[in-house]
Structure 1
Amino acid sequence: MGTALVTGASAGLGREFAGQLAGRGHDLVLVARDEARLRALADELSARYAVDVEVLAADLSDRAALATVAARVADRDRPVDLLVNNAGFGSRRGFVRGELAEEEAALDVMVRAVMVLSHAAGGAMRERRRGAILNVSSVASFAVMGHYSAIKSYVTVFSEALATELAPHGVAVTALCPGFVRTEFHQRAEMNMARLPDALWLDAAEVVRAGLDDVARGSVVSVPSVPYTALVGVLRVLPRRVTRSVASSLATRRRAGARRG
Structure 2
Amino acid sequence: MGTALITGASAGLGLEFAWQLAAARHDLVLVARDVERLERLAAQLYAAAGVHVEVLPADLSVAEDVERVADRLRATERRVGLLVNNAGYGLHQRFVTGDVDEELAALDVMVRAVMVLSRAAAEQMVEHGRGAVLNVGSVAALMTSGTYSAHKAWVRTFTEGLAVELAGSGVSATVLCPGFVHTEFHERAKMRMDAYPEVVWLRPDAVVARALADVRRGAVISTPSIRYSLAAGLLRMLPRGAVRGISSGRARRR
CA offset at residue 252 of structure 1? 2.3
Q: Secondary structure at the match of 2:42?
A: helix
1:94 partnered with 2:129: no
CA deviations on 1:15-39 (whole Å, 9 max, x unpaired) are 0000000000100000000010000
CA deviations on 1:133-168 (whole Å, 9 max, x unpaired) are 000000000111111000000000000000111121
CA deviations on 1:181-210 (whole Å, 9 max, x unpaired) are 010111110001110111001101110000
CA offset at residue 77 of structure 1? 2.9
The within-5 A match list for 1:127-142 is: 127-142=127-142
CA deviations on 1:62-87 (whole Å, 9 max, x unpaired) are 11111000000111233100000000
Report the counterpart of residue 44 of structure 2 in structure 1.
44
The alignment yields a C-alpha RMSD, in angstroms, of 0.9
Inter-partner Cα distance in structure 1 for 2:78 and 2:251: 46
Report the counterpart of residue 55 of structure 1 in structure 2.
55
Inter-partner Cα distance in structure 2 for 1:253 and 1:30: 35
Inter-partner Cα distance in structure 2 for 1:123 and 1:40: 31
Q: Return the letter of the residue paired with 2:6.
A: V
With 238-247 and 114-123 compared, the bigger mean Cα shift is at 238-247
Q: Return the letter of the residue paired with 1:241.
A: G
Structure 2 gap ranges (5+): none
The within-5 A match list for 1:140-155 is: 140-155=140-155
Inter-partner Cα distance in structure 1 for 2:70 and 2:253: 41
Report the counterpart of residue 66 of structure 1 in structure 2.
66
Report the counterpart of residue 212 of structure 2 in structure 1.
212
Inter-partner Cα distance in structure 2 for 1:45 and 1:126: 29
With 93-102 and 10-19 compared, the bigger mean Cα shift is at 93-102
The within-5 A match list for 1:178-189 is: 178-189=178-189
Report the counterpart of residue 156 of structure 2 in structure 1.
156
Q: Is the 8 A contact 2:111 2:154 kept in 1?
A: yes
Aligned residues: 254
Q: Is the 8 A contact 2:195 2:253 kept in 1?
A: no
CA deviations on 1:43-94 (whole Å, 9 max, x unpaired) are 0001110100000001011111110000001112331000000000101222
Report the counterpart of residue 6 of structure 1 in structure 2.
6
Report the counterpart of residue 195 of structure 2 in structure 1.
195
Report the counterpart of residue 257 of structure 1 in structure 2.
none
1:169 partnered with 2:169: yes
CA offset at residue 3 of structure 1? 0.2
| TM-score, length of structure 1 as denominator length | 0.96
Inter-partner Cα distance in structure 2 for 1:125 and 1:167: 13
Report the counterpart of residue 17 of structure 2 in structure 1.
17
Inter-partner Cα distance in structure 1 for 2:17 and 2:162: 22
| TM-score, length of structure 2 as denominator length | 0.98
Q: Return the letter of the residue paired with 1:238.
A: L
Inter-partner Cα distance in structure 2 for 1:227 and 1:66: 35
Q: Secondary structure at the match of 1:163?
A: helix
Q: Is the 8 A contact 2:6 2:28 kept in 1?
A: yes
Inter-partner Cα distance in structure 2 for 1:89 and 1:200: 19
Q: Secondary structure at the match of 2:93?
A: coil
Q: Secondary structure at the match of 1:81?
A: strand
Q: Secondary structure at the match of 2:219?
A: coil
Question: Kindly, what percent of the aligned residue pairs are identical?
Answer: 57
Q: Return the letter of the residue paired with 1:142.
A: L
Q: Return the letter of the residue paired with 1:231.
A: A
Report the counterpart of residue 110 of structure 1 in structure 2.
110
Inter-partner Cα distance in structure 2 for 1:189 and 1:98: 14
Inter-partner Cα distance in structure 2 for 1:152 and 1:50: 35
Q: Return the letter of the residue paired with 2:20.
A: Q
Q: Secondary structure at the match of 1:168?
A: coil
CA offset at residue 253 of structure 1? 3.1
Inter-partner Cα distance in structure 1 for 2:169 and 2:196: 43
